Amino acid sequence: MHYATLGEAHRDAAGRIDNAILVLHWTGVDARALLTTNYTNALFAPGKPLDARRFFLIFPDNVGHGRSSKPSDGMKTAFPNYGYGDMVDLQHRLVTDVLGIERLRAVVGMSMGGMHAWLWAQAFPDAMDGIMPVVSLPMKISGRNLLWRRMVINAIRSDPAWNNGRYEEPPKGWLRAYEIHRMMTDSVPHLQSIIPDIDAAEQFLKAARAHGESADANDVLYALEASADYDPEPRLASIKAKVYALNFSDDELNPPCLNAFDRLMPLVPHGRFVTQEASGETTGHSTTAHPRLWSAHVADFMRALEDLKSTIDVGEN
């Protein structure tokens, strides 16, 4: 399991690391997507909410992704199946067994990473002060979000060129399916503005196919099927950590019209949710790739954790 870090670990009077934050990527990318200039400038630079001068930031490549073990390393469909529970368990072993951290200040995750944050708070309730899930709902994947996943999975598995994972070049079923995936992660208003005619639509699809060619179909298949075990709803009341959930009003994968947070967040003892309104700059679910548009919410979350820490410190004194 590959990981990267920013900043330095700080130890309290008892020798425990007390400034670690786990930052979790979304499906199909790896830690490098979070170490780009736009993320650094918006979140990790001096004075920003996750200032690397103050915090020890941990960026794992989740199993099946990036430079961690994955089907495309050679095993193809002989690679062991894994679920979100397995991914979170490996993250926890990295944090505790490898890095020696007993308690995280926070877990911050985007999309798949946000779903992992919900699972962290349930599986390891005393392992963090707070979690910030971005564009992820605390409920089993269903509806449109489930349909597009099944469409992509079925398009890969039903393509004869996939050959049970033993293909020599990207199966066309996957490349066509990625077009659906790319559309679903954008917003209706943004697509309306950038695709006024057939030529623009073809350029959009051409770019999507080119991006799809850079991914491995088996890796994608495993990553999508891994979400089948995700179902945090029954244990929301068990969460001890402070929760700050963020969604975007133009997110077509987790549409606010479902009122999921209105229904479920009251079950979370220390939970808060915010739905950020769309603007001319937002792009639906993929707004996660533009953290400057939502970094103010990360600042709010970190201030809440500082207030919590101050309260605890006063109580101990």
Asked if 170 contacts 263 with a C-beta cutoff of 8 angstroms, the reply is no
- What one-character-per-residue DSSP string does 170-234 give? --HHHHHHHHHHHHHTS-HHHHHHH--SHHHHHHHHHHHHHHHHTS-HHHHHHHHHGGGG---GG
Q: Is the pLDDT of residue 130 over 60?
A: yes
Going from the C-alpha of 231 to that of each of 119, 203, 284, the distances in angstroms are 9, 37, 23
Q: Is the pTM of this model over 0.85?
A: yes
- Gap between the Cα atoms of 156 and 212, Å rounded: 12
- CB of 230 closer than 8 Å to CB of 146: no
Q: Please give the DSSP secondary-structure letter assigned to residue 81.
A: P
209 CB neighbour count, 10 Å cutoff:
17
Asked if residue 203 has pLDDT above 80, the reply is yes
User: pLDDT digit string (tens) for 212-240?
Assistant: 999 999 999 999 999 999 999 999 999 99
List the domain boundaries for the chain. Answer: 3-140+230-316, 143-225
Q: At CA 198, angle to CA 185 and CA 158, rounded to 5? A: 55
CA nearest neighbour of 295 among 274, 280, 309, 310: 274
Q: Which CATH number fits domain 143-225: 1.10.1740.110, 1.25.40.20, 3.40.50.300, 3.40.50.460?
A: 1.10.1740.110
Segment 141-161, tens digit of pLDDT:
999 999 999 999 999 999 999
pLDDT value at residue 22: 98
* Mean pLDDT, the chain, whole residue set: 95
Which tens digit of pLDDT belongs to each residue from 45-98? 999 999 999 999 999 999 999 999 999 999 999 999 999 999 999 999 999 999
Predicted local confidence at residue 314, as pLDDT: 45
How far is Cα of residue 129 from the mean position of the Cα atoms in its chain? 19
- pLDDT, one tens digit per residue, over 168-197 is 999 999 999 999 889 999 999 999 999 999
Beta carbons within 8 Å of 130's beta carbon, 6+ residues apart: 105, 106, 107, 241, 242, 243, 244, 301, 304, 305, 308
pLDDT of residue 256: 93
pLDDT at 124: 98
Range 266-281 burial, b when 16+ CB lie within 10 A, else e = eebeebebeebebeee
**CA dihedral angle for residue 108, residue 113, residue 119, residue 125, rounded to 10 degrees:** -20
Give me the pLDDT at residue 312, please.
53
| Widest Cα–Cα separation across the chain | 67
Distance from C-alpha of 275 to C-alpha of 111, rounded to nearest angstrom: 14
* Alpha helix ranges (H) inside the chain: 37-39, 84-93, 112-123, 143-157, 172-184, 188-194, 198-213, 217-225, 260-264, 295-316
For the domain 3-140+230-316, what is the CATH code? Answer: 3.40.50.1820
Q: Residue 17 forms beta bridges with which residues?
A: 11
For the chain, count helices (H), then strands (E).
10, 7
Quote the pLDDT of residue 307: 80
